[in-house]
Each structure stands twice: as C-alpha cells, then as structure tokens.
Structure 1
C-alpha cells in the first residue's frame, strides 16, 4: 500500500470512528477484519496516524474554525498533515490527487485551508486551556479541583501515547522467563517499576508478535490495573468476588493470586463480557473461578450470599477519565448516564456489594477515574453510612508493594506514575456478626 492509499484508508477508518458511538478499539478491529488485505506494516502506520488525530481533535477543530473551514474527518487529516507532520501544501496536494486508492483531489477551499495553515504548528498562544489540553467542558472543573496547579501537567500526560503493559500469569510462567523470551524476539521489554508481575514494552506493536497471549502466559493489562488487583490480596483457599468483572482483566489476576485454589466469582450485568471472561480464564489455565450474570447491582444472588466472602472487589463503572491516554476518543464521550447519575449508580453498587463481605473481610473499591466525586468522596459517603467498615492504609493493605507514596488510598496518574489513572480504597469490615437484612 503506497502512502496515498494509506491516507485514504486512514480517512475511511477515522470516518467510521466518528460516526459510531462504539469505542475506537472495537471500530478498528471490525475495520481490519473486513480488510484482511491490509498488512501488518500498513495497519501499524494507520493506527499511529489515527491515534494522533484523536489526541489532537480539539486543537485541529480550533484551527479549522479559526480559518472558517468546516470540521470533518478529511479536514482534520489535511490539517494534521500540515500542523502535526510539517508537510508542505504542495506535498499534501500530490497525495490527494484522485489516483486509484488515493484521496480525492483537493477543492479550492481545501487549498486555501492548507495555505492558511502553512508555517504553523498545532499549538497557538490564543488557544484556550480547554482546547490546548484537549479537556472536555464537563470534566474541566472537577479535574482542576483534583489537580490544582498540576492540572496542565496531568492533562498533557493524558495526550502522550501509552506504553504496552503486560501481566505475567504465574500459573504458566515467571516474569524472568517471559522477559527472556521477549528479548529473544528482539523486543525492548523491561520489568515494570511498581507491579511485581508486570512487563512494559515502550510502544504499540502487532499482538501477533506476542505468542504468550495465545498460550495464556501473559495478558495485556496496564500496570495501574495490576496494582488494583494486587490490593485485593486474594489468598489461596479464600472465597472472593469480582463484582464488576467485565471481560475479566482483574479476575484473571485474582485467580492467579489464589494459585487456582479457593473460589472466585466473576459477576457482571453484561452476558457477552462474562463469556469473554470465561474464555480467558480457560486459556490461562485458571479453573478456580465461575461467572455469575446479575440482573442488577441488587440481584437476589447478593442477598443470598450475604457475609459469605473474604474479599470483594468493586471495579465500578466510571467516567473513564483515567484511561484518556489509552482511549483518546473516550474524553469526548460524556458519561452516558450523566455524571450525577453515574455517581449514584456507583454508590448503589458499592452498598450492595458490601453485603457480601464477611466479618473481618475486605472490600476494595476502585475506578479508572481521576475525578474526586467518583473516588474519595464516594468512599467518604460509604463510610459515613457503613460504620462497620474502616479504611486500610496502603502500607497495611499492601506492605510488599514498593515505590508508592504512603497514603490512605491508591491514587495513580499518568504524569506521576506513567500508568493509567486509577483509584482504589481498601476497606475492612469489623470482626463481628453480619448485620441483619
């Protein structure tokens, strides 16, 4: 595929991304499945360009508005080639020549746009902070509150491409063995700084180059997510619940912590995600877990199992602000329920899941959000309504984790920890008989 054909194919992909509400990774997977003729090298180049466009969406839109040009996927691509890649208008025009598989020829308005962008870069001193930092209006105030003077630095970190983090499945291999295998493949892999089971690759690559994914030796999981699972501290022989398991990323980590002993229940309200979870458990050789489809957060199953579990993880649905670095399209999708309704749902989920914790057992509440309303404030409200629980500080909850600043809660950010943004609170129920229903 020549460079002009790659530009047109990327434009087709960007158009698909912008006209659907699905996450970009789902759209790209579908796009490439229907175009298997696109080879690995072209696919990588297209994804690199696509994600660059998504990370600069607000700034590209600002430039288009400044020059009086309508915003569209094609206009964004044209603007990026000048502002982001430093191409000349004549170079762009040669690519947009209408040849077979190439983009259609430039219109007069597009030629004027390129001329207006010439000799500029993506940044401009007149850009407002919300545009320069690619921060949506709905998240601006709470994020400023969260970070104060570090707001700009933290937002800038969410605009950088993330590394590829892997979690080693200790049931199948050791980290040293996996690292050795990756080095033999010529990959610049290194042990993660915080997670004892993590491996970091500095950039995105074709997953076909990672045979351990097929054999269950490794899973793709951000280092921050790995730390959340470690805070649960699930032990062999215990009874554990992953209350919002989704496709099972943390479920697999918990099952491995338990060394395939004990009983782990992965719950969710989405059947397709649970099926994916079950498939991943089988591939990883983990057989101490079962999946449980819930009708809602207050499913009767919860009441029947009240006080029956040693550990309960609530990885609550959230705004996803901590994942913007990895999912740049997500920042422009406000929470579907609205932030207030989402916070209310989190509160109901946490209160319901807490019923499962036995006396002396632990409840871990986690989000991939940077917003205090979904994190510290949510925990404070829960503790006020549930005096039988107390906070277990990080040093007590996970004394073997090094490199983390002592604190009540786990609070990770892209700028400070080079992970996705995660929050987790470890809460312990008093060693007393369960309250009556």
Structure 2
C-alpha cells in the first residue's frame, strides 16, 4: 500500500506555488486526493493571514529562507497560532515536511526552533500583534485598507476586514420550482442537518448549513433542489425582475447561480440565454444546468465585449444581466487570495473592461428594455462612478435604481447592482 504524502508538505507546496507564480490556490486544492478539508483550511488560512505570518517571520528570522521553506514555516505557524491542532503533531509533521525537501535538514532545524518558540510565546505574540497597524493586524494590503477608510470610514473599513477574516459559511438557495421549501427543510432534518434561515431571505429562501457538511451529501443534491449561493446574488436579480414570457440574456453567466434564479422567476416561460467565454466555465454552467434540470435554457459561447459576433444584428432582449468581471473585493471571505491581487493598475484595467462590456451589451437591448450591471466588488470606480460616467456618455439610457450589499451590515457577500433602462 502506497504511503500517503505528508499533508503539511502538500499544503506548503500549494502555498509555494502561490507565492512564486501567483497561481490560484483553488485550482491546486480542487485536485487533492487526500486530507482535503485539512489542507484546504491550512492553505486558505496561510493565504488569508499572509501579513501576520510575514510580520512574525521578519520578527524572528534574520536571513529570509528559500521560498519553499518559508511556505513550510508559514504552514507550521498557522497551525500553532490559529488552528485547533495538537502542537506536537503540528511541529513534528511540519518539521518532517521540511526534511523531505532537498536541502531541508538545516531549514528543518530553524523551523523546529521557531515553531517551538511560537508555542511558548503564543499569548505574548497575540498581544504584540494587536498593537500593530490595522493592515498587519487584519492582514490586508495597506493601500486597500487606506482606500476603504476614505470610502467607508475607519470603523466600517475595520469591520469589513474583520468580516473577511472569518470562516465563510456554506449557504444554499432553495430551488423552489423543484421542491417545496418546508419539504426540503424536513429532509435536511431527517438527515440530522439543522439549517439556519438566512435573514436576507425574501423572494428567495437561503439556508446556512452547519460547518463540515459536504454539499454533495446534502439531500436533494442530485435532484437539483438547491444551489450553493450567497444571498447577495439576489440583489442584481431582484433589480432585473425577469418575468415569464420575456427574452432574457445572462451575459456572463457561469457558474450559473444567477441564471438559475432568473429561470425560477420566469417560470419556464420565455427565452433565457446563458453566455460565457471560457470552455471550462461553460462546462460548469452545463453541469449545473443538468443537475438543476434547466435544459430549456440556451447556452452559448461568446465574449461579452463582442456579443454581436454571437447574436445577429436584429436580435434584441427585453432584459440583460451583466455580472461583469471585477476585483472581487466583496468576496474576500470566500476568496482568500483575491485581496493580494488588487492594485491601482488592476483597478484601471478592470474598469476599462467593465465599461467596454457595458457598452457592447447595451446594444442588444430592445426598446424600453432594461439592463442590470452588477459586480461583487465594493470599489466606487467599478460601481457608482463607472455607471454615472457611462450614463453621462449614453443619452439613450437612464439610471433607474441601484442596490448594494455591504458585508458587515448585510451579513452577506458584497455586491453592487444598477438598473439601467433604454429610453
């Protein structure tokens, strides 16, 4: 029987790839064959707490170690400081992980000494950490904390960063066209799953699952009784208000949660087209369509910057949902690595893309048609400022209404949506 690889080493190698190449950790995590939950928590925890771990390393290590041994050290420190793991197991297995790498005997001794010191001085470390600047204490890029303080005020900026550092909940949206809500909740309880009704529930019903329950083991998964979906996704669909009999386009549709929500509002009457650009995302979209038994929805491959290449010139839609690519600053709780990819340059690049998509897709609207522009970002440049600028440059359209979810207030992911109508 083949011996399993050291789980701490697997976690460290994923962190190493992220540090060296900025690879998305979730792509490596999706391929895991062993200890998935443990490695997932360690990797996301290290990524989330990057500045805290970096601060501690700088405090105690004179000569910066090679990147792979830095990753192993951070994996060990995260376990000692932030996880409910037996210290002896965390230290022994992490040190062994270092030894298993070429040239690892020397670094293993250093890592052993630092982890044992962290074990001894844990309380003092946390006191010292509390006196550090907010961006270190809360492990967010300094420039991002400063811009949030200017936009939202210091208290809300700190509350947002604290929210981002909490473990994310798994939230289900009941597919009410497939199952009665009360019946679904009864099935969950029969399986010893006690769900919590999310307070954001209104037209849609959202349930918070207890931690540690695999989604595929939840009753009704194969039957398509639910989607995994944060309540903030309803902000844009509520503004769009799709109706039975309409022609509707979801222009950036994958993975398909909002598409399914639109389908439920349309009651299987009318025409709903889900478009996305990349083959892997379309594959996920098709899988979710199949599981949710939404075969009546048309799926097309297309670039939202050039939708006319997909649809003929006379093809028009009553309603368009435009959930554009964004900086994801409203979903840092779920995407731990996204906070480290936000730069002033990326803000400028992404807003150009968003403006281009909005301009191109607006041309597909029928007379008096409506479009909802939405992001899962909290940056004004991507949201209010972009929509205001676009409306000022397009006299044939008017801004009707906007909606927003600010995580510490809404208890959801962050979201922005703007309802735009063609005159």
Distance 1:282 1:81 in 2: 40
User: Retained in 2: the 8 A contact 1:322–1:370?
Assistant: yes
Give how far 1:16 is off. Answer: 5.0
Distance in 2 between residues matched to 1:383 and 1:302, nearest whole Å: 25
Residues 277-296 of structure 1 correspond to what in structure 2 (within 5 A)?
277-295=285-303
2:40 to 36, 47, 53: 47
* Bigger mean CA offset, 3-12 vs 149-158: 3-12
Report what 1:119 is aligned to: 121
2:347 to 314, 319, 339: 339
- Counterparts of 1:169 and 1:92, CA distance in 2: 42
Mapped to 1, the partners of 2:4 and 2:165 lie a distance apart of: 25
**TM alignment of 1:234-383, pairs within 5 A:** 234-295=242-303, 297-301=305-309, 304-305=312-313, 308-334=316-342, 338-383=346-391
Distance in 1 of aligned mates of 2:213 and 2:18: 21
Contact 1:302 1:355 in 2 (8 A): no
- Unpaired runs of 5+ residues, structure 2, are none
CA deviation vs aligned residue, 1:142-180 (integer Å, no higher than 9, x gap): 322321121111111111111111112222112222211
**Structure 1 residues 252 and 336: CA distance shift in structure 2, 3 A:** farther
Contact 1:7–1:102 (CA under 8 A) maintained in structure 2: no
How does the TM-score come out when normalised to structure 2?
A: 0.86
Whether the 8 Å CA contact 1:302–1:353 is kept in 2: the answer is no
Alpha-carbon offset, residue 102 of structure 1: 9.0
* Paired position in structure 2 for 1:221: 229
Matched residue, 1:80: 78
Aligned length: 407
Question: Is 2:232–2:414's contact at 8 Å kept on the other side of the alignment?
Answer: yes
Residue 133 of structure 2 is matched in structure 1 by 128
Structure 2 residue 240 is the aligned partner of structure 1 residue 232: yes
The 2-side partners of 1:262 and 1:336 are apart by 42
Corresponding position of 1:399: none
Q: Normalising to structure 1: TM-score of the pair?
A: 0.83
Compute the displacement of 1:306 (Å). 5.7
Q: Residue 159 of structure 1 aligns with which residue?
A: 165
Given the superposition, is the C-alpha separation of residues 27 and 336 from structure 1 closer, same or farther in structure 2, using an over 3 Å criterion?
farther
Please tell me the root mean square deviation across aligned C-alpha atoms, in Å.
Answer: 3.1
Residue 168 (structure 1) aligned with residue 169 (structure 2): no
Contact 2:91 2:116 in 1 (8 A): no
* TM-aligned CA distance change 1:298 to 1:312, over 3 Å: same
Unaligned runs of 5+ in 1: 394-408, 431-437
Query: How far apart in 1 are the matches of 2:20 and 2:238?
Result: 38
